[in-house]
Amino acid sequence: MTTPRADRGRNPDRSPLNWLLLLPIAIPLIPPLFNADEPRLFGIPMFYWLQLAFIILGVTSTTLVYRATRRGR
Protein backbone atom coordinates (compact mmCIF):
# COMPACT_ATOMS: atom_id res chain seq x y z
CA MET A 1 0.00 0.00 0.00
CA THR A 2 2.10 2.89 -1.25
CA THR A 3 0.73 6.35 -1.78
CA PRO A 4 0.90 7.27 -5.47
CA ARG A 5 3.20 10.17 -6.20
CA ALA A 6 0.27 12.06 -7.72
CA ASP A 7 -1.10 12.40 -4.20
CA ARG A 8 1.62 14.82 -3.24
CA GLY A 9 0.28 18.18 -2.20
CA ARG A 10 -3.32 17.08 -2.67
CA ASN A 11 -5.47 16.90 0.40
CA PRO A 12 -6.79 13.36 0.80
CA ASP A 13 -9.09 14.52 3.60
CA ARG A 14 -11.01 16.84 1.32
CA SER A 15 -14.65 15.92 0.81
CA PRO A 16 -17.88 17.91 0.52
CA LEU A 17 -19.21 15.72 3.34
CA ASN A 18 -16.79 17.44 5.72
CA TRP A 19 -19.34 20.23 6.06
CA LEU A 20 -21.53 17.73 7.90
CA LEU A 21 -19.12 17.96 10.81
CA LEU A 22 -20.40 21.46 11.53
CA LEU A 23 -23.83 20.16 12.56
CA PRO A 24 -22.76 18.20 15.68
CA ILE A 25 -20.42 21.06 16.60
CA ALA A 26 -23.03 23.83 16.35
CA ILE A 27 -26.29 22.23 17.45
CA PRO A 28 -25.23 21.04 20.95
CA LEU A 29 -24.01 24.57 21.66
CA ILE A 30 -27.42 26.25 21.18
CA PRO A 31 -29.22 25.95 24.55
CA PRO A 32 -32.63 27.28 23.34
CA LEU A 33 -32.91 24.07 21.31
CA PHE A 34 -32.80 21.77 24.33
CA ASN A 35 -33.12 23.81 27.52
CA ALA A 36 -36.60 22.64 28.50
CA ASP A 37 -38.23 20.19 30.88
CA GLU A 38 -41.08 19.11 28.60
CA PRO A 39 -41.63 16.94 26.63
CA ARG A 40 -40.31 14.16 28.81
CA LEU A 41 -39.18 10.76 27.55
CA PHE A 42 -39.66 7.89 30.01
CA GLY A 43 -39.85 10.60 32.67
CA ILE A 44 -36.51 12.12 31.63
CA PRO A 45 -36.67 15.88 30.85
CA MET A 46 -35.93 16.98 27.29
CA PHE A 47 -32.75 18.74 28.45
CA TYR A 48 -31.20 15.34 29.11
CA TRP A 49 -32.60 12.99 26.49
CA LEU A 50 -32.18 15.42 23.63
CA GLN A 51 -28.55 16.15 24.48
CA LEU A 52 -27.89 12.42 24.71
CA ALA A 53 -29.56 12.08 21.31
CA PHE A 54 -27.07 14.58 19.87
CA ILE A 55 -24.49 11.82 20.30
CA ILE A 56 -26.21 10.01 17.42
CA LEU A 57 -25.85 13.13 15.31
CA GLY A 58 -22.14 13.23 16.08
CA VAL A 59 -21.63 9.55 15.33
CA THR A 60 -23.53 9.79 12.03
CA SER A 61 -21.55 12.78 10.78
CA THR A 62 -18.14 11.42 11.70
CA THR A 63 -18.99 8.01 10.25
CA LEU A 64 -20.05 9.52 6.92
CA VAL A 65 -16.90 11.61 6.74
CA TYR A 66 -14.75 8.60 7.64
CA ARG A 67 -16.35 6.52 4.89
CA ALA A 68 -15.95 9.29 2.34
CA THR A 69 -12.27 9.90 3.02
CA ARG A 70 -10.82 6.61 4.24
CA ARG A 71 -7.99 5.10 2.31
CA GLY A 72 -8.45 1.78 0.61
CA ARG A 73 -6.80 -1.16 2.16
Q: What is the contact surface with other proteins in residues (CB under 8 A)?
A: 1-3, 7-13, 18, 21-25, 28-31, 35-37, 40, 42-45, 47-48, 51-52, 54-55, 57-59, 61-63, 65-66, 69-71, 73
In terms of CB distance, is 16 or 29 closer to other proteins?
29
**27: alpha, beta or left, given left = phi > 0 and alpha = psi -120 to 50?**
alpha
- State the sign of the Cα–Cα–Cα–Cα dihedral 44, 48, 52, 57: positive
Give min distance, CB of 46 to other proteins, in A: 9
What letter does residue 10 receive in the DSSP assignment? S
